[in-house]
Amino acid sequence: MKTAIRLSIILFSGIVLASCSGKDEKAAQAAAGQPQPYPVFAVTTQETTLDSDYPATIEGIQNIDIRPKVDGFVERIYVDEGAVVRKGQPLFSINAPQYEQAVRTAAAAISSAEADVNAAQLQVNKTKPLVEKDIISKYELEAAQLTLQSKRAMLSQARASLANAKINLGYTNITSPVDGVVGSIPYKTGSLVSSSSAQPLTTVSNTAKVYAYFSLNEKQLLDFSNVYNGKNLAEQMRNIPPVSLVLADGSSYAQNGRIESINGQINTSTGSASLRATFPNPVSVLKSGASASVRIPQHVKNVILIPQKSTTDLQGKKFVYILGDSAKVMNTPIEVMEITKGKFYVVTKGLKAGDKIVLEGFQSLKDGTKIKPEDKNTDSVYAEIK
Protein backbone atom coordinates (compact mmCIF):
# COMPACT_ATOMS: atom_id res chain seq x y z
CA MET A 1 0.00 0.00 0.00
CA LYS A 2 2.79 2.42 0.98
CA THR A 3 4.68 1.48 -2.17
CA ALA A 4 1.65 2.41 -4.31
CA ILE A 5 1.33 5.78 -2.59
CA ARG A 6 5.01 6.56 -3.16
CA LEU A 7 4.64 5.64 -6.84
CA SER A 8 1.66 7.97 -7.25
CA ILE A 9 3.55 10.86 -5.64
CA ILE A 10 6.52 10.32 -7.94
CA LEU A 11 4.30 10.28 -11.07
CA PHE A 12 2.43 13.46 -10.03
CA SER A 13 5.69 15.26 -9.34
CA GLY A 14 6.96 14.33 -12.79
CA ILE A 15 3.86 15.69 -14.45
CA VAL A 16 4.13 19.00 -12.57
CA LEU A 17 7.79 19.36 -13.46
CA ALA A 18 7.10 18.66 -17.15
CA SER A 19 4.31 21.24 -17.18
CA CYS A 20 6.52 23.87 -15.60
CA SER A 21 9.25 23.09 -18.06
CA GLY A 22 6.84 23.67 -21.02
CA LYS A 23 5.70 27.01 -19.64
CA ASP A 24 9.25 28.13 -19.10
CA GLU A 25 10.06 27.24 -22.69
CA LYS A 26 7.14 29.32 -24.05
CA ALA A 27 8.07 32.21 -21.83
CA ALA A 28 11.60 31.98 -23.07
CA GLN A 29 10.43 32.07 -26.67
CA ALA A 30 8.24 35.11 -26.02
CA ALA A 31 11.11 36.85 -24.29
CA ALA A 32 13.32 36.06 -27.26
CA GLY A 33 10.91 38.17 -29.47
CA GLN A 34 10.45 35.97 -32.50
CA PRO A 35 9.55 38.18 -35.59
CA GLN A 36 5.84 38.24 -36.32
CA PRO A 37 4.48 38.23 -39.91
CA TYR A 38 3.09 41.52 -41.34
CA PRO A 39 1.91 42.30 -44.89
CA VAL A 40 4.07 44.85 -46.70
CA PHE A 41 4.00 46.36 -50.20
CA ALA A 42 6.21 48.61 -52.30
CA VAL A 43 4.76 52.05 -53.07
CA THR A 44 4.89 53.24 -56.67
CA THR A 45 4.09 56.47 -58.48
CA GLN A 46 0.61 56.68 -59.96
CA GLU A 47 -1.35 58.76 -62.46
CA THR A 48 -4.91 59.51 -61.40
CA THR A 49 -7.66 62.11 -61.20
CA LEU A 50 -8.63 63.71 -57.90
CA ASP A 51 -12.16 64.99 -57.42
CA SER A 52 -13.09 67.91 -55.17
CA ASP A 53 -16.76 68.42 -54.29
CA TYR A 54 -18.20 71.80 -53.31
CA PRO A 55 -21.80 72.40 -52.17
CA ALA A 56 -23.72 74.44 -54.73
CA THR A 57 -27.07 76.10 -55.28
CA ILE A 58 -28.82 75.80 -58.64
CA GLU A 59 -30.43 78.82 -60.29
CA GLY A 60 -31.91 79.34 -63.73
CA ILE A 61 -30.09 81.74 -66.03
CA GLN A 62 -33.15 83.96 -65.64
CA ASN A 63 -35.42 84.11 -62.59
CA ILE A 64 -37.96 86.80 -63.36
CA ASP A 65 -40.55 88.00 -60.85
CA ILE A 66 -43.88 88.64 -62.58
CA ARG A 67 -45.45 91.68 -60.92
CA PRO A 68 -48.51 93.71 -61.90
CA LYS A 69 -47.94 97.25 -63.10
CA VAL A 70 -51.55 98.30 -62.49
CA ASP A 71 -54.02 97.96 -59.63
CA GLY A 72 -56.93 95.57 -59.97
CA PHE A 73 -58.38 92.14 -59.28
CA VAL A 74 -56.99 88.92 -60.69
CA GLU A 75 -59.63 87.98 -63.25
CA ARG A 76 -58.08 84.91 -64.89
CA ILE A 77 -55.05 82.69 -64.39
CA TYR A 78 -54.03 81.00 -67.65
CA VAL A 79 -51.25 78.72 -66.36
CA ASP A 80 -50.60 76.37 -63.48
CA GLU A 81 -47.60 76.08 -61.19
CA GLY A 82 -44.75 74.20 -62.84
CA ALA A 83 -46.06 74.79 -66.36
CA VAL A 84 -43.56 75.30 -69.19
CA VAL A 85 -44.34 78.57 -70.98
CA ARG A 86 -43.07 80.39 -74.03
CA LYS A 87 -42.19 84.03 -74.41
CA GLY A 88 -45.37 86.07 -74.98
CA GLN A 89 -47.71 83.37 -73.62
CA PRO A 90 -50.59 84.80 -71.48
CA LEU A 91 -50.19 84.27 -67.74
CA PHE A 92 -52.76 86.49 -65.97
CA SER A 93 -55.62 88.83 -66.71
CA ILE A 94 -56.39 91.70 -64.31
CA ASN A 95 -59.81 93.30 -64.08
CA ALA A 96 -59.19 97.07 -63.94
CA PRO A 97 -62.16 99.02 -65.46
CA GLN A 98 -60.53 102.37 -64.72
CA TYR A 99 -58.01 101.79 -67.49
CA GLU A 100 -60.71 100.99 -70.02
CA GLN A 101 -62.42 104.23 -69.02
CA ALA A 102 -59.15 106.11 -69.40
CA VAL A 103 -58.87 104.85 -72.99
CA ARG A 104 -62.39 106.02 -73.81
CA THR A 105 -61.76 109.41 -72.21
CA ALA A 106 -58.51 109.85 -74.12
CA ALA A 107 -60.20 108.89 -77.40
CA ALA A 108 -62.94 111.46 -76.79
CA ALA A 109 -60.30 114.10 -76.02
CA ILE A 110 -58.69 113.40 -79.38
CA SER A 111 -61.97 113.93 -81.19
CA SER A 112 -62.44 117.25 -79.40
CA ALA A 113 -58.86 118.30 -80.13
CA GLU A 114 -59.23 117.41 -83.80
CA ALA A 115 -62.36 119.58 -84.01
CA ASP A 116 -60.48 122.49 -82.41
CA VAL A 117 -57.63 122.07 -84.90
CA ASN A 118 -60.09 122.11 -87.84
CA ALA A 119 -61.76 125.26 -86.49
CA ALA A 120 -58.41 126.97 -86.04
CA GLN A 121 -57.39 125.96 -89.55
CA LEU A 122 -60.60 127.51 -90.96
CA GLN A 123 -59.85 130.73 -89.14
CA VAL A 124 -56.38 130.84 -90.66
CA ASN A 125 -57.78 130.11 -94.12
CA LYS A 126 -60.35 132.91 -93.74
CA THR A 127 -57.92 135.46 -92.35
CA LYS A 128 -55.10 134.94 -94.86
CA PRO A 129 -56.80 136.44 -98.02
CA LEU A 130 -58.06 139.39 -96.02
CA VAL A 131 -54.56 140.20 -94.90
CA GLU A 132 -53.27 139.86 -98.45
CA LYS A 133 -55.86 142.52 -99.54
CA ASP A 134 -54.89 144.74 -96.64
CA ILE A 135 -58.40 144.57 -95.32
CA ILE A 136 -57.23 143.50 -91.84
CA SER A 137 -53.94 143.68 -90.05
CA LYS A 138 -51.34 140.93 -90.50
CA TYR A 139 -51.37 140.52 -86.74
CA GLU A 140 -54.82 138.96 -87.08
CA LEU A 141 -53.30 136.25 -89.27
CA GLU A 142 -50.42 135.68 -86.88
CA ALA A 143 -52.86 135.30 -83.99
CA ALA A 144 -54.90 132.77 -85.97
CA GLN A 145 -51.77 130.81 -86.84
CA LEU A 146 -50.67 130.76 -83.20
CA THR A 147 -54.09 129.48 -82.20
CA LEU A 148 -53.81 126.74 -84.83
CA GLN A 149 -50.37 125.82 -83.51
CA SER A 150 -51.74 125.63 -79.96
CA LYS A 151 -54.68 123.43 -81.01
CA ARG A 152 -52.32 121.08 -82.88
CA ALA A 153 -50.18 120.78 -79.74
CA MET A 154 -53.27 119.95 -77.72
CA LEU A 155 -54.16 117.28 -80.29
CA SER A 156 -50.68 115.75 -79.97
CA GLN A 157 -51.07 115.76 -76.20
CA ALA A 158 -54.43 114.02 -76.47
CA ARG A 159 -52.96 111.37 -78.72
CA ALA A 160 -50.11 110.80 -76.23
CA SER A 161 -52.67 110.42 -73.45
CA LEU A 162 -54.50 107.82 -75.50
CA ALA A 163 -51.26 105.93 -76.12
CA ASN A 164 -50.49 105.92 -72.39
CA ALA A 165 -54.03 104.80 -71.57
CA LYS A 166 -53.72 101.92 -74.03
CA ILE A 167 -50.34 100.91 -72.53
CA ASN A 168 -51.86 100.86 -69.04
CA LEU A 169 -54.80 98.86 -70.35
CA GLY A 170 -52.33 96.44 -71.94
CA TYR A 171 -50.77 95.87 -68.50
CA THR A 172 -54.00 94.18 -67.46
CA ASN A 173 -52.99 91.24 -69.68
CA ILE A 174 -49.73 89.82 -68.36
CA THR A 175 -47.59 87.61 -70.60
CA SER A 176 -44.35 85.70 -70.02
CA PRO A 177 -41.25 87.76 -70.83
CA VAL A 178 -39.11 84.64 -71.50
CA ASP A 179 -39.30 80.91 -72.14
CA GLY A 180 -39.28 79.13 -68.81
CA VAL A 181 -41.06 77.34 -66.01
CA VAL A 182 -43.77 78.90 -63.85
CA GLY A 183 -43.10 78.97 -60.11
CA SER A 184 -45.61 79.20 -57.27
CA ILE A 185 -48.78 81.31 -57.72
CA PRO A 186 -49.69 82.86 -54.35
CA TYR A 187 -52.64 84.93 -55.60
CA LYS A 188 -55.85 83.27 -56.71
CA THR A 189 -58.71 84.51 -58.87
CA GLY A 190 -60.38 87.52 -57.29
CA SER A 191 -57.33 88.65 -55.30
CA LEU A 192 -56.59 92.37 -55.22
CA VAL A 193 -53.10 93.11 -56.50
CA SER A 194 -51.04 96.20 -57.22
CA SER A 195 -47.55 97.22 -58.22
CA SER A 196 -46.67 97.56 -54.53
CA SER A 197 -47.80 94.02 -53.57
CA ALA A 198 -45.23 92.25 -51.39
CA GLN A 199 -45.26 89.03 -53.40
CA PRO A 200 -45.02 88.70 -57.18
CA LEU A 201 -47.84 87.05 -59.09
CA THR A 202 -45.37 84.27 -59.91
CA THR A 203 -41.81 83.68 -61.04
CA VAL A 204 -40.75 82.45 -64.46
CA SER A 205 -37.40 80.67 -64.47
CA ASN A 206 -35.51 80.15 -67.70
CA THR A 207 -33.75 76.83 -67.04
CA ALA A 208 -32.56 75.95 -70.55
CA LYS A 209 -29.21 76.47 -68.86
CA VAL A 210 -28.60 76.66 -65.13
CA TYR A 211 -26.00 78.28 -62.94
CA ALA A 212 -24.42 76.33 -60.07
CA TYR A 213 -23.07 78.79 -57.50
CA PHE A 214 -20.44 77.54 -55.03
CA SER A 215 -17.66 79.00 -52.88
CA LEU A 216 -13.96 78.49 -52.20
CA ASN A 217 -12.19 79.76 -49.12
CA GLU A 218 -9.02 81.82 -49.44
CA LYS A 219 -6.65 78.84 -49.21
CA GLN A 220 -8.67 76.77 -51.67
CA LEU A 221 -8.76 79.70 -54.06
CA LEU A 222 -4.97 80.07 -53.94
CA ASP A 223 -4.49 76.33 -54.49
CA PHE A 224 -7.01 76.49 -57.30
CA SER A 225 -5.16 79.31 -59.06
CA ASN A 226 -1.83 77.49 -58.68
CA VAL A 227 -3.11 74.25 -60.23
CA TYR A 228 -4.31 75.72 -63.53
CA ASN A 229 -1.92 77.61 -65.80
CA GLY A 230 -2.67 81.01 -67.23
CA LYS A 231 -1.39 84.58 -67.26
CA ASN A 232 -4.68 85.88 -65.93
CA LEU A 233 -7.95 84.64 -64.48
CA ALA A 234 -9.64 84.34 -67.89
CA GLU A 235 -6.88 82.04 -69.19
CA GLN A 236 -6.96 79.94 -66.02
CA MET A 237 -10.71 79.41 -66.37
CA ARG A 238 -10.24 78.25 -69.97
CA ASN A 239 -7.75 75.65 -68.72
CA ILE A 240 -10.12 74.26 -66.10
CA PRO A 241 -11.47 70.92 -67.35
CA PRO A 242 -15.24 70.34 -67.59
CA VAL A 243 -16.84 69.91 -64.17
CA SER A 244 -19.63 67.54 -63.17
CA LEU A 245 -22.64 67.91 -60.92
CA VAL A 246 -23.57 65.54 -58.10
CA LEU A 247 -27.31 65.71 -57.38
CA ALA A 248 -28.97 65.57 -53.97
CA ASP A 249 -29.58 61.80 -54.27
CA GLY A 250 -25.89 61.15 -54.91
CA SER A 251 -26.30 60.49 -58.62
CA SER A 252 -24.25 62.32 -61.25
CA TYR A 253 -25.92 64.68 -63.71
CA ALA A 254 -25.68 63.40 -67.28
CA GLN A 255 -24.02 66.48 -68.79
CA ASN A 256 -20.84 68.26 -67.77
CA GLY A 257 -20.54 72.00 -67.32
CA ARG A 258 -17.85 74.65 -67.23
CA ILE A 259 -16.72 77.22 -64.69
CA GLU A 260 -17.37 80.59 -66.32
CA SER A 261 -17.10 83.09 -63.51
CA ILE A 262 -14.92 83.60 -60.43
CA ASN A 263 -15.65 86.52 -58.15
CA GLY A 264 -12.43 88.45 -57.81
CA GLN A 265 -13.35 89.74 -54.36
CA ILE A 266 -13.34 87.65 -51.16
CA ASN A 267 -16.33 88.15 -48.90
CA THR A 268 -14.96 89.52 -45.63
CA SER A 269 -17.77 87.99 -43.56
CA THR A 270 -17.38 84.45 -44.93
CA GLY A 271 -13.75 84.51 -46.06
CA SER A 272 -14.69 82.92 -49.38
CA ALA A 273 -15.15 83.83 -53.03
CA SER A 274 -18.09 82.83 -55.20
CA LEU A 275 -17.73 80.80 -58.41
CA ARG A 276 -20.30 80.00 -61.06
CA ALA A 277 -20.48 76.90 -63.25
CA THR A 278 -22.93 76.66 -66.14
CA PHE A 279 -24.69 73.42 -67.10
CA PRO A 280 -27.02 72.70 -70.04
CA ASN A 281 -30.51 71.61 -68.99
CA PRO A 282 -32.40 70.64 -72.15
CA VAL A 283 -35.01 68.42 -70.46
CA SER A 284 -35.42 70.56 -67.29
CA VAL A 285 -34.03 67.93 -64.91
CA LEU A 286 -32.35 70.67 -62.86
CA LYS A 287 -34.71 72.97 -60.98
CA SER A 288 -34.05 76.50 -59.85
CA GLY A 289 -33.40 76.58 -56.10
CA ALA A 290 -32.20 72.95 -55.91
CA SER A 291 -29.02 71.93 -54.11
CA ALA A 292 -26.15 69.88 -55.54
CA SER A 293 -22.36 69.62 -55.46
CA VAL A 294 -19.96 70.78 -58.14
CA ARG A 295 -17.21 68.20 -58.69
CA ILE A 296 -13.95 69.62 -60.04
CA PRO A 297 -11.43 67.09 -61.42
CA GLN A 298 -7.66 67.54 -61.03
CA HIS A 299 -5.42 65.25 -63.07
CA VAL A 300 -2.14 64.43 -61.31
CA LYS A 301 0.91 62.48 -62.51
CA ASN A 302 3.80 60.75 -60.74
CA VAL A 303 2.28 60.89 -57.28
CA ILE A 304 2.49 58.31 -54.51
CA LEU A 305 -0.80 56.99 -53.18
CA ILE A 306 -1.13 54.82 -50.08
CA PRO A 307 -4.19 53.25 -48.46
CA GLN A 308 -5.61 55.22 -45.57
CA LYS A 309 -5.57 52.02 -43.49
CA SER A 310 -1.76 51.98 -43.78
CA THR A 311 -1.42 55.19 -41.74
CA THR A 312 -1.70 56.15 -38.09
CA ASP A 313 -2.53 59.56 -36.63
CA LEU A 314 -0.57 61.10 -33.80
CA GLN A 315 -0.97 64.69 -32.64
CA GLY A 316 -2.40 65.77 -35.96
CA LYS A 317 0.33 64.12 -38.04
CA LYS A 318 0.25 60.96 -40.11
CA PHE A 319 2.77 58.13 -39.84
CA VAL A 320 3.56 54.92 -41.72
CA TYR A 321 5.80 51.98 -40.86
CA ILE A 322 8.59 51.72 -43.45
CA LEU A 323 10.44 48.43 -43.75
CA GLY A 324 14.11 49.14 -43.19
CA ASP A 325 17.33 47.12 -42.99
CA SER A 326 17.32 43.77 -41.16
CA ALA A 327 13.52 43.68 -41.54
CA LYS A 328 13.07 46.35 -38.88
CA VAL A 329 10.28 48.92 -39.23
CA MET A 330 10.65 52.66 -38.83
CA ASN A 331 7.71 54.81 -37.77
CA THR A 332 8.01 57.63 -40.33
CA PRO A 333 5.98 60.87 -40.57
CA ILE A 334 4.43 61.75 -43.93
CA GLU A 335 2.53 64.66 -45.43
CA VAL A 336 -0.57 64.18 -47.57
CA MET A 337 -2.83 66.31 -49.74
CA GLU A 338 -6.14 67.49 -48.36
CA ILE A 339 -7.89 65.90 -51.34
CA THR A 340 -8.12 62.12 -51.19
CA LYS A 341 -8.62 59.52 -53.89
CA GLY A 342 -11.33 57.35 -52.42
CA LYS A 343 -9.69 55.41 -49.56
CA PHE A 344 -6.18 56.51 -50.58
CA TYR A 345 -4.03 59.43 -49.47
CA VAL A 346 -1.84 61.37 -51.91
CA VAL A 347 1.58 61.59 -50.27
CA THR A 348 3.50 64.82 -50.85
CA LYS A 349 6.43 64.22 -48.49
CA GLY A 350 8.02 61.37 -46.53
CA LEU A 351 7.93 58.53 -49.08
CA LYS A 352 9.62 57.71 -52.36
CA ALA A 353 8.89 55.13 -55.02
CA GLY A 354 10.16 51.71 -54.00
CA ASP A 355 9.75 52.17 -50.24
CA LYS A 356 8.04 49.24 -48.57
CA ILE A 357 5.45 49.98 -45.92
CA VAL A 358 3.33 47.84 -43.62
CA LEU A 359 -0.11 47.49 -45.19
CA GLU A 360 -2.24 46.90 -42.08
CA GLY A 361 -2.49 45.21 -38.68
CA PHE A 362 0.34 47.19 -37.09
CA GLN A 363 -1.46 48.37 -33.95
CA SER A 364 0.96 46.52 -31.66
CA LEU A 365 4.09 47.49 -33.62
CA LYS A 366 6.75 49.76 -32.20
CA ASP A 367 9.49 51.72 -33.88
CA GLY A 368 12.50 49.47 -34.51
CA THR A 369 10.59 46.20 -34.17
CA LYS A 370 11.83 43.38 -36.37
CA ILE A 371 9.07 41.73 -38.38
CA LYS A 372 8.62 38.88 -40.80
CA PRO A 373 7.54 40.72 -43.98
CA GLU A 374 4.95 39.13 -46.27
CA ASP A 375 5.12 40.83 -49.65
CA LYS A 376 1.78 41.80 -51.16
CA ASN A 377 1.27 42.31 -54.86
CA THR A 378 1.41 46.05 -55.54
CA ASP A 379 -1.15 45.88 -58.34
CA SER A 380 -3.69 44.26 -56.01
CA VAL A 381 -3.18 47.02 -53.45
CA TYR A 382 -3.80 49.75 -56.05
CA ALA A 383 -6.63 47.89 -57.78
CA GLU A 384 -9.27 50.10 -56.14
CA ILE A 385 -8.04 53.27 -57.84
CA LYS A 386 -7.75 51.90 -61.36
184 lies in the same domain as 234? no
pLDDT of residue 265: 80
Position 22 in a domain: no
334 lies in the same domain as 222? no
193 lies in the same domain as 74? yes
Boundary of a domain, candidates 271, 299, 327: 299
> pLDDT-based confidence at 287, cuts 50/70/90?
confident
Round the average pLDDT of the chain to a whole number and report it: 85
Position 27 in a domain: no
Q: Is the pLDDT assigned to residue 279 strictly greater than 70?
A: yes
312 lies in the same domain as 266? no
pLDDT of residue 30: 35
Boundary of a domain, candidates 299, 319, 351: 299
Boundary of a domain, candidates 299, 318, 348: 299
81 lies in the same domain as 185? yes
Q: How many domains does the chain have?
A: 4
CATH number of residue 220's parent domain: 2.40.30.170
pLDDT of residue 72: 92
> pLDDT-based confidence at 385, cuts 50/70/90?
low
Q: What percentage of the chain has pLDDT greater than the value 70?
A: 91
307 lies in the same domain as 373? yes
SS3 letters for the chain?
CHHHHHHHHHHHHHHHHHHHHHHHHHHHHHHHCCCEEEEEEECCEEEEEEEEEEEEEEEEEEEEEECCCCCEEEEEECCCCCCEECCCCEEEEEECHHHHHHHHHHHHHHHHHHHHHHHHHHHHHHHHHHHHCCCCCHHHHHHHHHHHHHHHHHHHHHHHHHHHHHHHHHCCEEECCCCEEECCCCCCCCCEECCCCCCCCEEEEEEEEEEEEEEEEHHHHHHHHHHCCCCCHHHHHHHCCCEEEEECCCCECCCCEEEEEECCCCECCCCEEEEEEEEECCCCCCCCCCEEEEEEEEEEEEEEEEEHHHCEEECCEEEEEEECHHHEEEEEEEEECCCCECCEEEEEECCCCCCEEECCCCCCCCCCCEEEEEECCHHHHHHHHC
pLDDT of residue 217: 87
Position 28 in a domain: no
Q: Which residue range(s) make up the domain with 329?
A: 36-52+301-385
